[in-house]
Amino acid sequence: MKSYIYFIALLVFGLSTTTIEAQSANDIFRAAGSPHNPKVAVAFNKYYTAEGLATISKKIADAYPELVKRKSIGKSTQGRDIWMLAITDYSVGNADRKPAFYVDGNIHSNEIQGGEICTYTAWYLTESFKDVDYVKQMLKDRIFYIVPTINPDARNNYMKEGNTAHSPRAGLIALDDDSDGLFDEDGYDDLDNDGSITRMRRKNPNGNMIVDPLDPRKMIQIGPDDVVTAQRYENLGGEGIDNDGDGSINEDVPGYYDPNRDWGWKWQPDYIQRGAYKYPFSAPENRAVADFVLTRPNIAGAQSFHNSGGMILRGPGAEEDKETYNRVDARIYDAIGNKGAELLPGYRYMVVYKDLYSVFGGELDWFYGSRGVYTFTNEIFTGFAYYKNKNGDRDQAYKAEKDLLLGDGFTNWKPYNHPTYGEIEIGGFRKNVGRATPGFLLEEEAHRNMVFTFYHAHHMPLLSVDSITEKSIGNGLKEITAIIKNDRLMPTHASQDLKYKIERPDYISLSGATVLAGMIVDNDDFNITTEQKNNPSKIKVDNIPGNSIIKVRWIVKGGGKVTVTVDSAKGGLISKKQS
């Protein structure tokens, strides 16, 4: 009898739960700008491991097979897949011929927001496709290649192992940082088991630090004229022990090399560019990205996500490379970058070498210098997000940790018996504070950075055959004139592309009649043209500028209604038949 009652109770409870779930969609009021009742439910107020991101990307691909193709573009140092989502409306046109926008994140393992921003972008594109005309048109015209993390090994290391907010920066190729013949043998040690590497301090009557009397979390330095009666401390550095007995602590941690100094444009060795590895693309993760990009000539725009500081960066990375970015392309960068500063409050649009520091072998320089692709890097998160009146400093971090995180970002100082230093205290900001966007701000950060990439992608070339006109010139001959229009800011070839002939020219072809002559119309008013004497039906055009037109003309014999086709690597493949 008891079993029967228990069964009935479970049944009733189960039915009640099902009813509540069934009604839940009716209990939701749609918020503007967010997907409504998504197929794939994802919480964007938290961070996911590499496997977590991979699981979400698979769910998105499985839910929207008509919009997403998911594939691994290579393997990491430890053998993890580097997943890419190719997102477009596959029912319209040839996906491989649409202008493409490449997005990646998390090249630096501790700079984790890029993984969530990329995933949010893929999620938003798919979940909003049915309801948002802007997204629908974007995926009709463009394709997005989204790689949420290109450093999955070290992303997991940052999240799962004891680390600071700044470690590890690299991938997980083991290196001998201290030249003792051992590899990564003296890394950080999470002595208090809080998941983070905080700070160590020790009482010392001759120390130069004291506890801030207004904030027990904070250590302040004693000034030269201060009269101090409080307990003095010395700073012992990051949490750890001397694992290899060489008299130093934390001197051979994972991640000496810098994967964003590994790209094959203006690369320099480590003694010039600290962090460079053996040679360009010696990190397998970067090699996988480069191999993918090199086989996708349709990529016209690119974006990478780092942290932190609230910056929208463009090249050149080094002053020695400043002539690469000429005035024509700088105007395009400026238009997009300045718009980004509007979309991302507190962010600044900057040039790397001039406004930040010199970088050789950086990703954004390789994309532009080697591939002719307009590329930005965003440094995610700024203290402006905490308190809107200023960008922030160390004092603000303490204030925000107390006011907005309610104490959830700091390990309070606690005593510890250290094998070398004796009685010490351990405490400080946890690794998820400072560089990583707090959860309550993360979805806004993801959305704003996403719409910046959309603005950039919107301004990739958008070509059309604007008109086809016909004029009889006697003796059974006709003059066919076509106007090819580019309705967006970016040309089909960046200046760097034109300079080094990185990508093939555009071709404008005519079919449906016998072509006797073909030419580019330089000035229609004065009938100035440039004839192409070889293969006149397929006119070679070096470039179709942004927000501009190209006019071409053929002399033809016979035929009926002709068709004009434009074939551009970065501008796509389009055709129009004469009406």
Of all helices (H) and strands (E), which one includes residue 333?
Answer: helix 327-343
* CA of residue 110 relative to chain centroid, distance: 14
Report pLDDT for 391.
Answer: 62
For residue 468, is pLDDT > 70? Answer: yes
User: Average of pLDDT values for 551-564?
Assistant: 95
Record the tokens describing residue 70, joined without a space.
Answer: 């998911």
Residue 373 sits at φ, ψ, to 5 deg, of: -110, 125
Report pLDDT for 253.
Answer: 80
pTM of the model: 0.93
The Cα angle at residue 425 between residues 420 and 431, in degrees rounded to 5:
105
User: Average of pLDDT values for 286-300?
Assistant: 98
Of all helices (H) and strands (E), which one includes residue 75?
Answer: strand 68-75
* CA of residue 508 relative to chain centroid, distance: 34
Residue with tokens 């739960």: 17
- pLDDT band at residue 556 using 50, 70 and 90 as cut-offs: very high
User: Average of pLDDT values for 318-326?
Assistant: 92
The amino acid at 409: G
Question: Could you tell me the CA-to-CA distances from 412 to 208, 342, 344 in Å, in that order?
Answer: 21, 38, 34
Residue with tokens 């027990």: 216
For residue 21, is pLDDT > 70? Answer: no
For residue 139, is pLDDT > 90? Answer: yes
Cα dihedral across residues 187, 193, 195, 197: positive or negative: negative
- pLDDT band at residue 389 using 50, 70 and 90 as cut-offs: low
How far apart CA 312 and CA 336 sit, in angstroms, is: 10
- CB neighbours of 198 closer than 8 A, spacing ≥ 6? 164, 192, 238, 239, 411, 426, 427, 428, 429, 430
Beta bridge partners of 511: 563
User: Average of pLDDT values for 447-452?
Assistant: 98
Cis upstream peptide for 269 (omega within 30°): no
Record the tokens describing residue 491, joined without a space.
Answer: 């040309």
Q: What is the mean pLDDT of the chain?
A: 92
How far apart CA 521 and CA 527 sit, in angstroms, is: 7
Beta bridge partners of 216: none
